[in-house]
A and B are shown apart, each in its own frame.
Chain A
Amino acid sequence: MKANGIRRTMEDNVIDIVIYAILIVVFVMTVYPFYYSLVISFNHGIDASRGGIYFWPRVFSLDNYKAVFSNHALLNGFGITISRTVIGTFATLLFTGLFAYSLSYNKLMFRTTYITLLIIAMYFSGGLIPYFILLKKLQLMNTFLVYIIPLMLNAFFTIIMMSFFRELPHELKESAKMDGASEMRIYFSIVIPISAPVFATIALFAGVEHWNSWFDAAFFVTDKDLKTISFMLMELINKANLTAVQGGGGDVERAATYAAQTFTAETIRMATMIVVIIPIICVYPFLQRYFVKGIMVGSIKG
């Protein structure tokens, strides 16, 4: 739709103004909370508890980040989260990929049965309690594997990957078969390289899921050394929640008890949040042209 050759009316101008106003509002409303967190994370803690910081740290300080990076529990939490994200994403790509690939094979015997089982599992679930009992009885509770194994196969990812594999050109696989390559070989050395877009999308989805996950750390794991950073962040935030309830100068009181220090629970929380957010901000813009297609497939066909 080109505007060339069409006379612009008064209505066009009004609509344009409204549209750009909306864009600016959306942009500011989305970005400002992130920016605000960043500003607070770089502000001296006790000074921040006086409030009134808008656009710039009032008393600049790196102490919050120093505190985060010298806290062993938090660092351990980051370590656990990084490991589960890397290992978990890899496991999901491998397992879900192979499953989706086999389902994309048209002549697969019992294919309809398999897909029906998958779709049912997508819409129905046993709910939290039976799932909890299962994990307990499988002895997965309180192990690192509880972060990896239950997420290895995801029905929604399977559908996206399967739809992608089905569109791949047949000839590529056929010619490799002529050359005597096994099916496994074809998958790993031909299908995977040409399927980079879908693998990138699923890697992003699975990676983000692992990175943000706190529920399993909260309820399926008791060992403090296995807790993820998101779970720790939740604990920091829960304290803030209670402070909000108690009202009446909670932060000021807290600041006073920490008088000797330059950070407070609030500023530590903000610094931790920023560290948690940064990897996601760095990754997702590069993958957006892939996942836009991905969620279309998933939402419409799924």
Chain B
Amino acid sequence: MPNFWSRLRGQLFFQICALMGIAFLLVFAYTPMVGIIIAFKNFKLSSGIPGFITSEWVGFKWFAEFYNDIYFWQIIRNTVVMSLLKLVFTFPIPILFALVLNEVRRQAMKRSVQTVSYLPHFISWIVVSGMIFSFFNEQTGVVNHFLVSTGLADKPISFLSDPAYFWPMAVLSDIWKEMGWWTIIFLAAIAGVDPALYEAAVVDGASRMQRIWFITLPTIKGTIIIVLILSIGNLFGGGLGGSNFEQSYLLGNPVNNGVSEILQTYTLKMGLAQGRYSYATAIGLIQSVISLMLIYLSNYFSKRFSGIGLF
């Protein structure tokens, strides 16, 4: 095929660039995907990458072992509950905030509050957890000091170690960190609403709440659904920022372990800390499979009921 080769030569530069990227993907993305099979094998680190293939098969041994792990139900519960809590509480807030910002007439004010609101997105969970530790510290933190000195609490509350506070803290800090960032998407969608619709509504005597309810919300429905699908797909990974792992890892401690241990932190513990590579890969695989199923399911149902889907 002379045509084939001459075309290829004509786009040599592009092909080289593309193939460099593909080579990268093969090494750093696809090799680990092949590596998943060690979840069904008895893998030893000494056997190296060929060990992905050569080590002996053990079937579902590691999955069964995880199921019988005394922490199994606790970890599954924590993973599911934390994700659901975040979905329920953190998903609607950026939408509400976008609606609020959209009603602000003074552009300068709108812009400055918005700019400030997504600053936390750029700050790492490390810094955020550092702030949490100093803010909510039992002795020195400003929150407890305030609560005690105003008589709202008769003694300091152990926000950081009492397991009862872990989930609320995780949800609230996630909202604090990512709310402004997700608002960008909804605000951009709102900006796409045809102003003529509002004018017509005003002429018809629609109140402001009615305009929000009957014009703004329906027109951004598509965006809302897409973000919802993305969040559901991320459900097991973590709320808006996909950050259950960092929160659980950084805010987790021996006392709140019973509520903070999730699939990802357990994978890390079993794999990197204890060197049980096959076992940890099996646990990680459960996580990815559930996430994948969730994104497919939510996409399927959203297509079915609203005609909107990611793929």
Contacts and interface: CB of A to CB of B under 8 A. Distances in A.
B29 to A, nearest CB: 4
A245 to B, nearest CB: 5
A182 B13 contact: yes
Contacts of B250: 234, 237-238, 241
Q: Which residue of B32, B115, B161, B251 has the most chain A CB atoms within 10 A of its CB atom?
A: B32
A164 interface: no
A2 B129 CA distance: 43
A212 B123 CA distance: 7
Contacts, number: 292
A22 B233 CA distance: 30
A126 B33 contact: yes
A299 B127 contact: no
B158 A244 contact: yes
B143 to A, nearest CB: 10
B134 A37 contact: yes
Contacts of A124: 33, 288, 292
Interface string B218-253: 000001001100100000000000000000001101
B32 A52 contact: no
B161 A247 contact: yes
B17 interface: yes
Contacts of A244: 133, 137-138, 158, 160-161, 253
Nearest to A1: B198
B25 A252 contact: no
Q: How large is the interface on B (under 10, 10 to 19, 20 to 34, 35 or more residues)?
A: 35 or more
B290 interface: no
29 contacts: A11-B209, A12-B208, A16-B103, A19-B100, A29-B176, A30-B120, A31-B116, A36-B134, A99-B18, A99-B24, A101-B17, A102-B16, A114-B21, A117-B25, A125-B32, A126-B32, A128-B267, A129-B38, A130-B31, A130-B35, A136-B45, A153-B28, A182-B13, A212-B123, A214-B124, A244-B133, A245-B160, A245-B253, A296-B184
Interface of A: 1, 3, 6, 9, 11-12, 15-16, 19-20, 22-23, 26-27, 29-31, 33-34, 36-37, 40, 48-54, 95-96, 98-99, 101-103, 105, 107-111, 114, 117-118, 121, 123-134, 136-138, 150, 152-153, 158, 182-184, 208, 211-212, 214, 219, 230, 233-234, 236-238, 240-242, 244-245, 247, 249-252, 266, 269-270, 273, 276-277, 280-281, 284-285, 288, 292, 295-296, 299-300
Give 5 nearest A-B pairs by CB, closest first. Answer: A126-B32, A130-B35, A99-B21, A212-B124, A127-B284
Given A50-B140, A237-B126, 17 more contacts: A11-B209, A12-B208, A19-B104, A26-B117, A37-B134, A53-B142, A54-B146, A102-B17, A102-B21, A127-B281, A129-B277, A134-B27, A137-B48, A234-B126, A270-B134, A277-B123, A300-B185
